[in-house]
Amino acid sequence: MTRQIAHYGVLSHYPQPNRTEHVHIGIAVFLADGSVRVHFGHDLRKLQAIDPQVKLDAVRSWEAGLPRLLEGQTHAAAAAFVKSLGQWSLSDTLGRFAYTGEEEYLARVTAALHSLVSTPAKPSRERGEVSRLHIDLKTTFTAKGWLGKDITKHEIVERYPIGPMTTAEFALQNGRLHVIESLDLRTSTPSAKRQDARAKALVFDMAKQSAADSARYSILAGVGSPLMGDAKALMSRYSEHVFTWESAQDMSELMNILGAATGKPGLSLPH
């Protein structure tokens, strides 16, 4: 498939148009064929924090309505139209990303929304928002003697930066970059999990761009989740290996791979 280029601007809401206070709420994406797609952030509660009168359902409705009004317009014309709505603006400058197919497009959109729109998590809450699967993996890696802080010493490290605004959940370097991402489907809402899956796909894509020979591992939990089939299909496109947390065979295979990569295959888990 041919790679496409999309350009996007940030949509902002101004409670009082004559004042500077505002909040970013989403992005408008201009596609090569002249069509426009609008995407709002997953959580718009911060919008009500600065404008209690706003109706979130009404704002959400523009996700489908605004693209029809902007279709075929230049960026300047679109910005002027958005401004005419009274409380919104479209950024003067445009970002861009390349994509092939709908899945990669949505992964790029998720990354842009996370960077430009999402409210940063407070440090005090970050640990509480980590998935149970992440904690289980971290505990396992620690028990095996693999977890550390120095990736140059064949240690598995947490939150390793692999590109602009992109951080791997776990990474290992032994002459080859190994990237490990987990997706816990046992918790949260389906929409949040879909966004998580797209974000993981973006991490794998960035890992491949930064190191073409990188090894990429997906670990999924939640065999009973209705999202498991789609999640496996998506992860299979972006990672070399897809493992199921509940499968003893899968986990044994993963531990053997990582044991060889760290150079510490002989350490067994405590009983």
- Is the pTM here over 0.85, yes or no? no
Give Cα separations from 253 to 98, 137, 245, 247, 259 (angstroms). 35, 14, 11, 10, 10
pLDDT (average), residues 244-256 = 95
Look-up of token digits 């910005």: 79
Helices (H), 184-244: 190-210, 228-238
* Model pLDDT for residues 55-100, shown as the tens digit of each residue: 888 888 899 899 999 999 888 899 999 988 888 999 887 888 889 9
Domains and CATH numbers, the chain: 4-116 (no CATH), 123-262 (3.40.50)
For position 58, what pLDDT does the model report? 85
Mean pLDDT, residues 119-142 = 69
* Position 196 pLDDT exceeds 50: yes
Mean pLDDT calculated for residue range 22-39: 92
At which residue do the structure tokens 């704002």 appear? 59
Residue 255's identity, in one-letter code, is M
**Is beta strand 4-13 parallel, antiparallel or unpaired with respect to 88-90?**
antiparallel
Given this model, what pLDDT does residue 127 score? 40
Minimal CA–CA distance to 135: which of 68, 202, 96, 182? 182
Tell me how far apart the alpha carbons of residues 260 and 271 are, in angstroms, rounded to a whole number: 22
244-251 average pLDDT score: 95
Per-residue pLDDT, 164: 65
Q: Hey, is 208 helix, strand or coil?
A: helix
Q: Dihedral (C-alpha) 85, 86, 87, 88: value to the nearest 10 degrees?
A: 40
* Integer Cα distance of 204 and 212 in angstroms: 11
Return the number of other C-beta atoms located less than 10 Å from residue 88's C-beta: 20
